[in-house]
Amino acid sequence: MKQVIKMRMAFSMVLACLVLSSCVKDRITRTYSIRTPIYASKSAILAGLSAEEPRPIDKTGKIWWYGNYIFMNDPGNGIHIINNSDPARPVVKAFIKLPGNIDIAVKGNILYADLYADMLAIDISDPMNPVQKKLVENIFPERNYQYGYNTNPDQIIIGWNTKDTIVEVDGPINTPGWFCVNCQIAFSGDTKAGGDGIGGSMARFSIVNDYLYTVSTSTLSSFTIAKPEDPTLVNANPFGWNIETVYPFRDKLFIGSSSGMFIADISNPASPQLVGSFSHANACDPVVADDNHAYVTLRTGTECMGTSNQLDVLDITNISNPVLLKTYSMANPFGLGIKGDFLYICDGDAGLKVFNKKQPLNIEPVQRIEVADTYDVIIRQSLLILVAGDGLRQYRIGEDGKLSHLSTLKTN
């Protein structure tokens, strides 16, 4: 009898251990790459503003095309200045080191660029000797927050220290469950984080005559740049939430957000007025337009939190009430551009796609350029500039809309 009781007690103890998972534990080893920021004072960065010798293109970013020059930023690091007098042989002339830079625009000899939450006006009359003309503070307040923590307004992140760390944790684990202050964490092996001039459809800066328009997460800001070296804020208009892009067409601005498209009338350029909108499911959505139609790409992805990859064609004949005409399936579309009857779409790793849009209800494929990680395009006259993962590409546009390759400035 005692033996039976002992056996029952032992069985009960084993069962309790299994149920409570407190007697037997697996140990799992995980490797993290922990990155902590390197700071410099904002005053030191501004005092040391200068152009360096050309450097290899590390990452491609936003572009602005002005005269014979292309300005392309290396996201978070600075701006490449490229002489494009001969599109078949572009030459990188200089690099302006500017930590935290994401967006750019140019009017005359003045380059406008963000520096985290602030905006700079930089004289580039001599591209090799840029001169700061004005600093406008806190135009992009959401960028005071980087990777989950609040940056010091007087300090600028200029780089990162990276250290691989191996830790043992109780398993099994589905999520890391770690909290990190003032650092970035990524699992080892992860590599994904990606008259006037003209910008691409992914731009957050736009220039129309004597006004510069910028968008932050929730606000459309208007600056008078009648004196280009002295951008002066004249209006800050809340337009919604998660605003991403701004695209000018005649006397309108088409503003893309993660929840829809807004249309602002700039007949009074100092005071844009909301005149129309179109809502869609949550997704990133650059937008371009012609006389009667707007073209919006929606995509999935970590930042976009979208559920669809598609092209929406909207009838904007009644500007106050855009109407969805048709949706076309895409792979993972980003920026896009228009020339005449042709539509050019950066469809991520599916390449640069050319469509005949003469019949909006029956857009027909014309050509596909096989290049990975396509991001945005700028079109002027018969030249198309493409930003892709492997570099800055240029193409000649034929009368049939098809593209012929001219040059590629390769990434490092």
Residue 12 CB partners (closer than 8 Å, separation 6+): none
**CA 68/CA 258 separation, integer angstroms:** 34
**CA 102/CA 172 separation, integer angstroms:** 40
The three state secondary structure string of 296-319 is: EEEECCCCCCCCCCEEEEEECCCC
Average pLDDT in the 140-160 region?
66
pLDDT tens profile 198-231: 898 899 999 999 999 999 988 999 999 999 999 9
Burial of residue 80 (number of CB atoms within 10 Å: 0-12, 13-18, 19+): buried
The answer to whether the beta carbons of residues 284 and 296 sit under 8 Å apart is: no
Mean pLDDT highest for which of 34-38, 110-114, 169-173?
110-114
Average pLDDT, the chain: 82
Quote the radius of gyration of the chain (alpha carbons, Å): 25
Higher pLDDT among residues 85 and 11, named by residue: 85
pLDDT of residue 181: 37
pLDDT of residue 28: 61
The residue assigned the tokens 């855009």 is 322
pLDDT of residue 143: 78
pLDDT tens profile 260-272: 889 999 999 999 9
Helix boundaries (H) for 231-347: none
**CA 349/CA 347 separation, integer angstroms:** 6
Which has the minimum average pLDDT: 14-23, 46-55, 207-216, 227-236?
Answer: 14-23
Burial of residue 253 (number of CB atoms within 10 Å: 0-12, 13-18, 19+): buried
Average pLDDT in the 82-100 region?
94
pTM of the model: 0.79
Average pLDDT in the 35-51 region?
79
pLDDT of residue 207: 95
The residue assigned the tokens 């001969």 is 86
Average pLDDT in the 8-17 region?
46
Vertex 355, ends 409 and 304: CA angle to 5°?
A: 70
The answer to whether the beta carbons of residues 248 and 256 sit under 8 Å apart is: no
Q: In the chain, what percentage of residues exceed pLDDT 90?
A: 57
**CA 123/CA 133 separation, integer angstroms:** 6
Q: How confident is the model at residue 182 (pLDDT cuts 50, 70, 90)?
A: very low
Starting at the earlier edge strand, list the strands of the sheet with 403-410.
376-380, 383-388, 391-397, 403-410
Residues β-bridged to residue 205: 214
**CA 245/CA 258 separation, integer angstroms:** 10
Higher pLDDT among residues 384 and 164, named by residue: 384
- Residue 367 pLDDT greater than 90, yes or no: yes
Which has the minimum average pLDDT: 58-72, 238-252, 374-388?
Answer: 238-252
